[in-house]
Amino acid sequence: MGTAHLYLALAIVTEVIGTSCMKLTEGFTKPLPTIVMAACYIAAIWLMSLAVRTLPIGFVYAVWAGIGIVVIAIVGVLLYDEPVDAVGAVGIALIVSGVVLLNAFSRMGGHA
């Protein structure tokens, strides 16, 4: 994994932490989760800007958004007791498939 891929991975982690805190902000009425959320979103965008120095922006955004969606769905189920149905599970599997295709077989990610 190159430096740009590391920046992308860290961007995903910070975005997931920020989004996980969003529910805790209670409409931005709770200062600490609001500050953590904002700081994480700023960090995620900054890290993505570093990743797109060498990786295609379409690849970076697709992987960032796709993995972020999947992880946040899992966080919702595990931490916030949110339901997931069969259609949702299939949709998430399709997102994972798309990210795998981009990473494993597409020239966009610099692997093929």
Domain ranges across the chain: 3-109
What DSSP assignment string belongs to 50-86?
HHTTTS-HHHHHHHHHHHHHHHHHHHHHHHH-----H
pLDDT at 105: 77
The share of the chain scoring above pLDDT 70, in percent, equals 95
8-state DSSP, 107: G
The number of beta carbons lying within 10 Å of the beta carbon of residue 50 is 17
Q: Give me the amino acid identity at 6.
A: L
| pTM value surpassing 0.75 | yes
* Residue 51 structure tokens: 């990743």
The predicted-structure confidence for 38-51, as pLDDT tens digits, reads as follows: 999 999 999 999 99
The predicted-structure confidence for 51-79, as pLDDT tens digits, reads as follows: 999 998 888 998 899 899 999 999 999 99
